[in-house]
Amino acid sequence: MSRDMRVAIVAIALLAAQGCGSSQGSKDGGGGGAAGSTATGGTTGGGGNAATAGTTGAGGGAGTGVGPGTGGTGGDCTVTPCTGLSYCDLALKQCKPGCASNSQCAANEICDLTTHACKRGCAATSQCGANETCDLTTQSCRCATGFHQCTSGCVADTSTSSCGQSCDPCPAPPENASATCSSSGTCGFRCNTGLFQCGSGCYAGTGMSATVCGTSCAPCPTKDHATARCSSGACAYTCETGYTLACDKCFPQAQGNDCTTHADCCPSGTSRQCVAGHCYIPYGSCNFTTTTCPPGTTCVGVGVGRCAPSCRTAADCPPSTYTGAGTPSCDGSYCYFSCTDPSDCPAGFGCGTNGRCN
């Protein structure tokens, strides 16, 4: 082999050695160049070039840490308060599901501190509904004073739709009136303006009209030759011109106006009799402090007296309507019944010391 060929082979070997060193160095920090081969019979080869050290790789980033969850069991709830609908179990120092105060519950609920559950109730009236109040003893809402419970809620005791303790409306009022409910809880009605109540109806006027007089709520009876009117709650009459009132009737003035001329003023079959032009019960009781006897009679006797008719003779004395009465006598002034014993006198009479029934 010629000298030139051997030199070429050595040169190729050196180039190969340098390439390998550089490649490995970029990976592993670079190794030394391969030693030069001794040329057979030639010059000593030059040492290889040191490879450039490789770049150190970047280290991995540290992982992001994850803290304890909200209301979780991993933290100490005596240090970090529980949030949401949870409470602190002081024994375990952990948050657990449930309530610890009323503020965690709905508007109409309270917290049961035994079970830590929200339940219906109240701690203040503001948690109750319309017309309700909070009973702090039972922690429950109830109807306020003046209201009572119905299906629709608490309703007024004085409302016509729920009068008293009822949940039913008051009965419909009569015509020309409106329903009412009293403070004691009783249904009634009020007549419209210009009308007055009489019984269960409303009428025009003031109760002083002949059409609806007094408490009878009925018109005054009609009478011949008379105009009815209401006087002090009772029917009265005014006779036409030329007539006069006698015995509640209107007669021609020429006939007079007492029972002397009108026998029908003292109806037969009754205890009334016509004495001095007036109907009365003969010998009825009287007293001496007030005038109770009709005209033509005088209160005579001892103690409780009797209304004795005036007389001149016994013929002037009317018979008594009392049971057991005999024929009356006349003392020249008044009629009387003679007696020796109370049994001689009509029922209801006594026998006086003067021998007369009185």
pLDDT digits (tens, 9 = 90+) for 32-86: 334 433 334 334 334 434 334 344 333 333 333 333 334 444 589 999 999 999 9
Q: Is residue 356 part of a domain?
A: no
Burial pattern 138-152, b for ≥16 Cβ within 10 A else e, equals eeebebeeebbeeee
Give CA torsion, residues 155, 160, 165, 166, to 10 deg: -100
pLDDT at 169: 96
Please check whether residue 244 lies inside any domain of the structure. yes
| Beta strands 243-246 and 234-239, pairing class | unpaired
Higher confidence at residue 208 or residue 74? 208
Reported confidence tier of residue 31, pLDDT bands at 50, 70, 90: very low
- Do 186 and 150 lie in a common domain? yes
The structure tokens listed for 168 are 């039913």
User: Quick check: is 66 in a domain?
Assistant: no
Q: For residue 239, is pLDDT > 70?
A: yes
Same-domain pairing of 139 and 80 = yes
Same-domain pairing of 130 and 153? no
Residue in the structure block whose two tokens are 């011109």: 241
Are residues 140 and 151 both part of a single domain?
A: no
Examine the domain organization and report whether 139 and 150 are in the same domain. Answer: no
Asked if residue 171 belongs to a domain, the reply is yes
Q: What pLDDT is recorded for position 314?
A: 79
Question: Which position has the higher pLDDT, 215 or 259?
Answer: 215
Total structural domains within the chain: 4
Verify that 171 and 188 share a domain, yes or no. Answer: yes
Q: Do 235 and 272 share a domain, yes or no? A: no
Report if residue 351 sits inside a domain.
Answer: no
Q: What is the pLDDT of residues 111-155, one digit of tens each?
A: 999 999 999 999 999 999 999 999 999 999 999 999 999 998 999
pLDDT at 162 over 90: yes
Which residues neighbour 16 within 8 Å (Cβ) at sequence distance 6 or greater? Answer: none
Question: Is residue 13 in a domain?
Answer: no
Together in a domain, 277 and 338 = yes
Question: Is the pTM above the cut of 0.85?
Answer: no
Q: Is residue 274 part of a domain?
A: yes
Q: Which helix (H) or strand (E) holds 25?
A: helix 3-28
Q: Average pLDDT, stretch 330-358? A: 74
167 shares its domain with 188: yes
Quote the domain boundaries for residue 231.
Answer: 206-252
Give a yes or no: residue 7 inside a domain.
no
DSSP letters of 111-143? EETTTTEEEE--SSGGGS-TTEEEETTTTEEEE
Model pLDDT, residue 273: 59
Write the pLDDT tens digit of every residue in 186-197. 999 999 988 888
